[in-house]
Amino acid sequence: MTNLTLLTEKISTIFNAKKLFHLAREKKFILRARQINPLKLLLSITNTLDCQSKTNLADIHRNYQRISGMPINYKLFHNQLKKPQCSEFFKSCFENIMQQWVLQSLKLTSLPTGAKFLFSKIKLHDGCSFQVHDGLQETYPGRFKKRFPAAIELHVTMDLLSGSIDYLSIGADTETERPHAPKATSLNGMLLLTDAGYFDRKKIISIEQQGGYTITQAACSINLIVKAAYNVQGKIIKSAVGKKLNTLKLKNKNSTLDLSVRWSGYDFDFRVIAFWYKKKKRIGYLVTNLAGETVPASDVVELYRLRWQI
């Protein structure tokens, strides 16, 4: 009930009719309270973009009339939205959402255990593919040529605690994505969270050497021999030592295993956290260089969940 109350308060703060009207006046988007209502406009755009995979201005226009209950000429509506002041208004709305929603939720100073962070910043990196017009396939070839002949990949690095974007790049969907992730040399005193597509053993070692930290997901298919194993309470599991990863079992879907493994050809002990991967209904693996003495396995899993913010 407490979480539901907090959620309601956040939504009410963002979609506040009086505040949005004053903001629209401040940005000179709305000079007089006539046909365009800032709250109804924000709701109609949010609703249209959220509920439809393909949208255009006419969809937003129809949605605005439905939500506001007021008929408005399409040309007048279009003229309002193309004003530079409209862009400034929505930019400010987004900044307010980041302040009220993201920053207040994620202004973290300590781990769930109460220990202070070892890092000053948390960086999230990910890539996402989008289909574009087939006529662009020579410039932006897609990986799935039959279904999506032309596609782009958007690469983004986000600073979690400030909510700002550090890096943004657009390239062909066929380009390799790893070079777009933050370099190890830029991560001193910071934590980088990435998914399995960016798993790189050499980079994990390099981040360690540069004084940085990382948590990255590894493929569920890795099957190495366990050098050391600990349960969620930090107690040694002697029976797991010398066995392969795929033979291990979790006590329940909320438990974790804290493991030490070594890949062939690497003179480095990798810390692997085994957890229940709900999406794939099997055990998943997180690889990190955060020390077990300071960051328990359960906290590593909680920290990694922050990656979904991107």
Question: Do 57 and 183 share a structural domain?
Answer: no
Question: Do 25 and 173 share a structural domain?
Answer: no
From 50-54, 64-68, 102-106, 189-193, the region with the lowest mean pLDDT: 102-106
Q: How far apart are CA 156 and CA 158, in angstroms?
A: 6
Question: Do 191 and 42 share a structural domain?
Answer: no
Question: Do 143 and 89 share a structural domain?
Answer: no
Question: Do 253 and 140 share a structural domain?
Answer: yes
- Write down the mean pLDDT value for the chain: 86
- pLDDT category of residue 69 using cuts at 50, 70 and 90: confident
Alpha-carbon torsion angle 139, 140, 144, 147, nearest 10: -90
Taking residues 164-169, report their average pLDDT.
88
Question: Do 126 and 101 share a structural domain?
Answer: no
- pLDDT category of residue 161 using cuts at 50, 70 and 90: confident
What's the domain count of the chain? 2
Structural domain includes residue 116: no
Structural domain includes residue 138: yes
Domain of 43, in residue numbers: 2-106
> What does each C-alpha distance from 225 to 172, 250, 259 come to in angstroms?
38, 17, 10
Taking residues 47-72, report their average pLDDT.
84
Question: Do 146 and 9 share a structural domain?
Answer: no
- pLDDT category of residue 101 using cuts at 50, 70 and 90: low
Q: Which of 54, 78, 106 is the last residue of a domain?
A: 106
Structural domain includes residue 52: yes
Over the stretch 127-147, which tens digit does the pLDDT of each residue have?
Answer: 999 888 988 989 999 988 888
CB–CB of 309/276 below 8 Å? no
Structural domain includes residue 115: no
Question: Smallest Cα–Cα separation from 274: which of 307, 242, 230, 239?
Answer: 230
Structural domain includes residue 111: no
- pLDDT category of residue 55 using cuts at 50, 70 and 90: confident
- pLDDT category of residue 274 using cuts at 50, 70 and 90: very high
Amino acid at 119: F
Taking residues 63-80, report their average pLDDT.
88
Q: Is the pTM of this model over 0.85?
A: no
Looking at the chain, how many residues does it have? 310
Q: Which of 58, 76, 106 is the last residue of a domain?
A: 106
Please determine, for residue 107, whether its predicted confidence score (pLDDT) is greater than 60. Answer: no
Q: Which two tokens stand for residue 161?
A: 């605690």
Please determine, for residue 6, whether its predicted confidence score (pLDDT) is greater than 70. Answer: no
Structural domain includes residue 86: yes
All residues at 6 or more sequence positions from 68 whose CB lies less than 8 Å from its CB, including other chains? 37, 40, 44
Greater model confidence, 202 or 10: 202
Over the stretch 175-225, which tens digit does the pLDDT of each residue have?
Answer: 999 999 999 999 999 999 999 999 999 999 999 999 999 999 999 899 999
From 84-93, 108-117, 159-168, the region with the lowest mean pLDDT: 108-117
Question: Do 131 and 89 share a structural domain?
Answer: no
Question: Smallest Cα–Cα separation from 229: which of 248, 246, 215, 201?
Answer: 248
Question: Do 161 and 82 share a structural domain?
Answer: no
Q: Which runs of E-coded beta strand occur in 70-120? A: none
Question: Do 141 and 100 share a structural domain?
Answer: no
- DSSP readout, 127-171? EEEEE--GGGTTTSB-SSTTT-SBEEEEEEEEETTTTEEEEEEEE
Question: Do 261 and 148 share a structural domain?
Answer: yes
- pLDDT category of residue 275 using cuts at 50, 70 and 90: very high
All residues at 6 or more sequence positions from 295 whose CB lies less than 8 Å from its CB, including other chains? 111, 115, 118, 288, 303
Q: What percent of the chain has pLDDT over 70?
A: 90
Question: Do 144 and 246 share a structural domain?
Answer: yes
Q: Which of 53, 75, 106 is the last residue of a domain?
A: 106
Structural domain includes residue 59: yes
Structural domain includes residue 177: yes
